[in-house]
Amino acid sequence: MEFMSTICLFLVVILTYFLIVFLLKFLYSAQTKLPLPPGTMGWPYIGETFQLYSQNPNVFFASKVKKYGSIFKSHILGCPCVMISSPEEAKLVLVSKAHLFKPTFPASKERMLGKQAIFFQQGEYHTKLRKLVLTAFMPETIKNKILDIESIAVSLLQSWEGRLINTFQEMKTYTFNVALLFMFGRDEVLYREDLKRCYYILEKGYNSMPVNLPGTLFHKAMKARKDLAQILAKILKLRRQMKHDYSDLLGSLMDDEEGLDDEQIADNIIGVIFAARDTTASLITWILKFLAENPSVLHAVTEEQESIIKNKVERGEDRILSWADTKKMTITKRVIQESLRVASILSFTFREAVEDVEFNGYLIPKGWKVLPLFRNIHHCRDNFCDPEKFDPSRFEVAPKANAFMPFGSGTHSCPGNELAKLEILVLIHHLTTKFRWSLVGPQNDIQYEPFALPQNGLPIQLSLKR
């Protein structure tokens, strides 16, 4: 009896879901005379989440575009979505009509990061937050931290020698330590282990369904998020007692003139760590894979980096990297650009319609998520010749307008992109001039959790050049 009751309840839920979808579609069509975009919504509540995150996103998106065109609907992480895959449409959402589409994330991520984080804001509050964040990440600020970044990079690389390492996990440590440096300055070593312990639990729940029941990833993540906020509260209290001037992000957010409360500060610190860590770690992992598989490109990058050292020695300077040195790394920068394009670490970004929007002949209902598909744009043959090929030389010429947007576009583009590029340049400099590395095991497969990553996080063996 219990089994039959469960089956009946399940059928009722399914029928109710499809009835609601039908009624919504009918009502919106009657009111606006515009259809919803074509597409499928998948299972009730779950939607097509598993189809997206369990396979190559290229396959999922390409099959949808082939069947429905450049704009289609779906249902991801508990949210009805409209996905768009052309540069022109992406610009409309991110720039031209940005006032109609507020930045957002699925409910699970919003609750974990904090609803007052910069990612979810518009208007004056967003402008204020962006100014504060940029203060800590603008070139004038980060160029004074090169020596500290270099110290973190060299220490990490030296710890790898002779070991079999998981590149992605090691790069998460690197980017986390760099992020904490810019959050808390050199005091970050005082809080690193406690913050790391809580954050590592939090990140496991980022793409979980928002079911806050004991034992679920979401429940564990929310508990870790509470612990993080308590650690930050202690740091804030200590700093207010010390009454020093701090040039890091926390110091910027604590600026009395801006009047942010502790909850707002905590939301933005946690949010920036999220933005600064996994995506950059994923990108560096792909760069090491692409360089190992393309010896001619690796040779060109190594020559460029060694020439910087050679020129410094000839001028009688020490070997410490300077901001001016990073400006000479043109080949290495093209490798970063091409890795961003091929890997497309962020397959898409989330926006939400703030009202019913007429969009290219379709209706996007208020509250629906809108996802510009960066991965599709970066892998479209109309935008890049032979798009699956790794070819940094393609960036010797500027790409088609709006066809390359790895850091987003418009007022909500990533404010930390200059720091991300700098920490990569510093690491690649020391890696290519001092070490050689080889891939271990087969590397043909890709795993998705949720970022696209080389198989098993790219195991490598590192050795010192003699």
Domain assignment present for 142: yes
Find the CATH number of the domain harbouring 121.
1.10.630.10
> How far apart are the C-alpha atoms of 158 and 161, rounded to whole Å?
6
Q: What is residue 414's predicted lDDT score, i.e. its pLDDT?
A: 79
Domain assignment present for 63: yes
- Report the phi/psi class of residue 402: left, alpha or beta, with left for phi > 0 and alpha for psi in -120 to 50: left
What is the reported pTM? 0.85
* Domain count for the chain: 1
CB 212 within 8 A of CB 222: yes
Question: What domain range is 127 assigned to?
Answer: 34-464
Q: What is residue 282's predicted lDDT score, i.e. its pLDDT?
A: 93
Alpha-carbon distance values, 45 to 20, 77, 80, 209, 211 (Å): 12, 8, 9, 10, 12
Q: Which of 341, 429, 434 is nearest to 388 (CA)?
A: 341
Q: Which of 354, 369, 456, 447 is nearest to 48 (CA)?
A: 369
Other Cβ atoms closer than 10 A to 372: 26
Q: In degrees rounded to 5, what are phi and psi of residue 443?
A: -135, 35
Domain assignment present for 388: yes
Domain assignment present for 188: yes
> How far apart are the C-alpha atoms of 227 and 194, rounded to whole Å?
9
CB 232 within 8 A of CB 247: no
Domain assignment present for 24: no
From first to last of its 466 residues, the chain has per-residue pLDDT tens of 444 444 544 454 455 555 555 555 555 544 557 899 999 888 877 888 887 777 777 788 888 989 999 999 999 877 899 999 999 999 999 988 988 998 887 777 778 888 888 877 778 888 888 888 888 888 888 888 999 999 999 999 999 988 899 999 999 999 999 999 988 887 777 888 888 888 888 888 776 777 778 888 888 988 999 999 999 998 888 888 887 778 888 888 887 666 788 898 998 888 888 887 888 999 999 999 999 999 999 999 999 999 999 999 988 888 889 999 999 999 999 999 999 999 988 888 889 999 999 998 999 999 999 999 998 899 989 999 999 999 999 999 999 888 998 887 777 777 788 899 999 999 999 999 999 999 998 877 887 766 788 989 999 999 998 7
Q: What is residue 102's predicted lDDT score, i.e. its pLDDT?
A: 87
Q: What is residue 5's predicted lDDT score, i.e. its pLDDT?
A: 47
> Which residues, other chains included, contact 201 with Cβ-Cβ below 8 Å and sequence gap of 6+?
220, 221, 223, 224
> How far apart are the C-alpha atoms of 222 and 212, rounded to whole Å?
8
Domain assignment present for 262: yes
Find residue 103's DSSP bridge partners.
351
pLDDT tens across 115-173, in order?
A: 888 877 778 888 888 888 888 888 888 888 999 999 999 999 999 988 899 999 999 99
Domain assignment present for 27: no
414 assigned binding-site residue:
yes
Q: Give Rg (Cα) of the chain.
A: 23
